[in-house]
């Protein structure tokens, strides 16, 4: 997946004007890590881009672990990066190895019962 394939959602509304104040996208790597990308907009005096991918647009990125919970903290974050860096982060996220899971095997032995009775 590449930066150009991200699906963007207008998601930050100014409550007073109901105007769009930015865009966001989420992408999950093949290892289950989640990348959240938001357009970087500071203050209402900045011109709001018409699309998430306008030339010169900067992005804030946060990466969340494969075993994240609802209120998990990001395991890494970068702010004010360009589209090329977002795409590089996507590659880095996909390259994160999952931790080795120690397998445990449980064997249960059932003692034989009495022989069945036939009529």
pLDDT at 92 over 80: yes
pLDDT (average), residues 11-24: 75
How many domains does the chain divide into? Answer: 1
Name the residue range of residue 32's domain.
3-95
Q: Which of 46, 32, 35, 33 is nearest to 7 (CA)?
A: 35
Residue 6 has pLDDT above 90, yes or no: yes
- Mean pLDDT, the chain, rounded, equals 83
Instruction: Report pLDDT for 119.
Output: 58
Average pLDDT over every residue of 8-28: 81
Residue 44 resides in a domain:
yes
Look at residue 118 and tell me if it is in a domain: no
Is 109 domain-assigned? no
Is 55 domain-assigned?
Answer: yes
Reported as a pLDDT band with limits 50, 70 and 90, residue 79 is very high
Q: Is 13 helix (H, G, I), strand (E, B) or coil?
A: strand
Of the candidate ranges 14-28, 66-80, 87-101, the one whose mean pLDDT is the lowest: 14-28
Domain membership flag for residue 113: no
Which one has a higher pLDDT value, 50 or 54?
54
Do the domain assignments include residue 11? yes
Q: Report the predicted TM-score, pTM, of the whole model to 2 decimal places.
A: 0.73
The answer to whether residue 38 sits within a structural domain is: yes
Does residue 101 fall inside a structural domain? no
């Amino acid at each position: 997946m590449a930066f150009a394939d991200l699906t963007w959602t207008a998601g930050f509304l100014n409550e007073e004007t109901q105007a769009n104040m930015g865009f966001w996208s989420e992408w999950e790597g093949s290892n289950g890590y989640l990348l959240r990308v938001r357009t970087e907009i500071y203050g209402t005096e900045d011109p709001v881009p018409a699309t998430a991918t306008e030339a010169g647009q900067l992005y804030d990125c946060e990466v969340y672990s494969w075993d994240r919970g609802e209120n998990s903290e990001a395991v890494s974050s970068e702010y004010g990066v360009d589209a090329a860096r977002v795409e590089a982060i996507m590659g880095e996220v996909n390259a994160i190895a999952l931790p080795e899971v120690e397998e445990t095997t449980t064997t249960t032995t059932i003692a034989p019962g009495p022989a069945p009775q036939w009529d």
